[in-house]
Amino acid sequence: MNRRKLVVGNWKMNGMRAHLDEVEAIGRVAAAHPDVEVGLCLPATLIMAGSERRGAAFIGAQNCHMDISGAYTGSLSADMLAEAGATWVITGHSERREARGETNADIAAKSVAAHKAGINVILCVGETLAVRDAGRAEQVVADQLLASLPEGAAADWLAVAYEPIWAIGTGRIPTMEAVATMHAALRKALASRIGAEADKMRILYGGSMNGDNAADLMALADVDGGLVGGASLSAAKFAPIIEAADQRMKAAA
- Give residue-wise pLDDT tens across range 176-200: 999 999 999 999 999 999 999 999 9
19 catalytically annotated: no
What are the backbone angles phi and psi of residue 8, rounded to the nearest 5°?
-125, 130
pLDDT mean over 217-238: 97
Q: Write down the domain spans for the chain.
A: 6-252
Q: Is the model's pTM score more than 0.85?
A: yes
pLDDT at 98: 87
Averaged confidence pLDDT in the chain: 96
Contact 231, 211 (CB under 8 A): yes
Out of 33, 65, 93, 115, which one is annotated catalytic?
Answer: 93
93 catalytically annotated: yes
H or E segment to which residue 99 belongs: helix 94-100
pLDDT at 166: 84
Out of 37, 163, 183, 243, which one is annotated catalytic?
Answer: 163
pLDDT in tens, 200-217: 999 999 988 999 999 999
pLDDT mean over 161-186: 89
Residue range 6-252 forms a domain whose CATH class is alpha beta
